[in-house]
C-alpha cells in the first residue's frame, strides 16, 4: 500500500478511500429497562474518507440506510423503523459529514462533524483510532479504523419511551455508536 510516515504513523497516501462494506460494521448500544443493553447494527451504508496532504485537513462522509437497522428481534426492528423512532419511510437515510479534525494523540484522532437523523442535524465529535494500513492477500490496499461516539437520541427527535413501574424508563437516552472498518482506494 502507498503509505507515508507522519508523526511516527504509517498513514495512507493522500486520496479518496471508500468504506469496504464487507469489512465494516456499524453498530450501536443502548440501555434497556435500566438494567441491560441492546445492541444493533445497520447493514446498508456507504461512505468515504479523503485523506489530505496534511492529515489534519482530511474529511469523511457516511450515509446509512435507516431501514437496514437490525437488533436481531423482528418486532423491535419494526418498532425502530416506525414513526416512534427512525420513521424510515419519511427519513430513509441518516448522514454524517465531517467539518474538521479537532486534534490527535498518537493513532487517535478527534473528528468533528454534523450528524443528521430524522432531518435534525447536530454537531458531534468522533474518536477515531487509526488501525494501520496494508495490502490484503489479493493485492488490494486497505487501512483500518475504529470509531466511537455517544449521542443523546432525544436531541434528534427520537423521544419515544415508556415509564417502568419500578422507576426509570424502557429505553436509555444515550446511544453509543461503534464502527469497525476498513477503507480501500476509490476506483
Tell me the DSSP string of 43-71. Answer: --EEEEEEE-SSGGG-EEEEEEEGGGEE-
Q: What's the pLDDT score for residue 88?
A: 96
Closest CA to 87 of 97, 96, 78: 78
Distance CA 125, CA 108 (A): 13
pLDDT at 80 over 80: yes
Q: To which H or E segment does residue 129 belong?
A: strand 120-135
Task: Please tell me the pTM assigned to this model.
Answer: 0.90
Per the CB < 8 A criterion, the answer to whether 10 and 133 are in contact is yes
pLDDT digits (tens, 9 = 90+) for 126-170: 999 999 998 888 888 999 999 999 999 889 987 776 775 776 656
Q: To which H or E segment does residue 3 belong?
A: strand 3-6
Residue 170 backbone dihedrals phi, psi, to 5 degrees: -70, -45
Per the CB < 8 A criterion, the answer to whether 139 and 96 are in contact is no
Q: To which H or E segment does residue 40 belong?
A: strand 36-42
User: Among 94-98, 151-155, 170-174, which range has the highest average pLDDT?
Assistant: 94-98
Residue 92 backbone dihedrals phi, psi, to 5 degrees: -70, -10
Distance CA 20, CA 144 (A): 10
Q: Average the pLDDT over 96-109 and give the result.
A: 96
Neighbours of 123 (CB within 10 A): 9
| Largest pairwise CA distance in the chain | 59
pLDDT digits (tens, 9 = 90+) for 20-39: 999 999 999 887 766 668 89
Distance CA 85, CA 24 (A): 24
Distance CA 26, CA 100 (A): 21
Higher pLDDT, 37 or 40: 40
- 37, three cell numbers: 443493553
Q: What's the pLDDT score for residue 33?
A: 63
Amino acid at each position: 500500500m502507498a503509505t507515508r510516515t507522519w508523526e511516527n504513523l504509517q498513514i495512507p497516501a493522500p486520496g479518496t478511500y471508500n468504506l469496504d462494506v464487507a469489512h465494516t460494521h456499524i453498530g450501536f448500544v443502548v440501555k434497556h429497562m435500566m438494567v441491560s443493553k441492546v445492541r444493533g447494527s445497520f447493514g446498508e451504508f456507504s461512505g468515504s474518507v479523503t485523506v489530505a496532504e496534511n492529515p489534519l485537513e482530511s474529511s469523511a462522509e457516511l450515509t446509512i440506510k435507516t431501514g437496514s437497522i437490525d437488533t436481531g428481534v423482528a418486532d423491535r426492528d419494526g418498532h425502530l423503523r416506525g414513526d416512534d423512532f427512525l420513521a424510515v419511510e419519511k427519513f430513509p437515510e441518516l448522514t454524517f459529514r465531517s467539518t474538521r479534525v479537532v486534534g490527535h494523540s498518537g493513532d487517535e484522532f478527534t473528528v468533528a462533524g454534523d450528524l443528521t437523523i430524522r432531518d435534525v442535524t447536530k454537531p458531534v465529535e468522533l474518536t477515531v483510532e487509526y488501525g494501520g494500513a496494508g495490502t490484503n492477500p489479493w493485492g488490494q490496499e486497505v487501512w483500518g479504523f475504529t470509531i466511537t461516539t455517544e449521542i443523546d437520541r432525544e436531541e434528534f427527535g427520537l423521544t419515544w419511551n415508556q415509564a417502568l413501574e419500578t422507576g426509570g424508563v424502557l429505553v436509555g437516552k444515550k446511544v453509543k455508536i461503534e464502527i469497525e472498518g476498513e477503507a480501500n482506494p476509490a476506483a
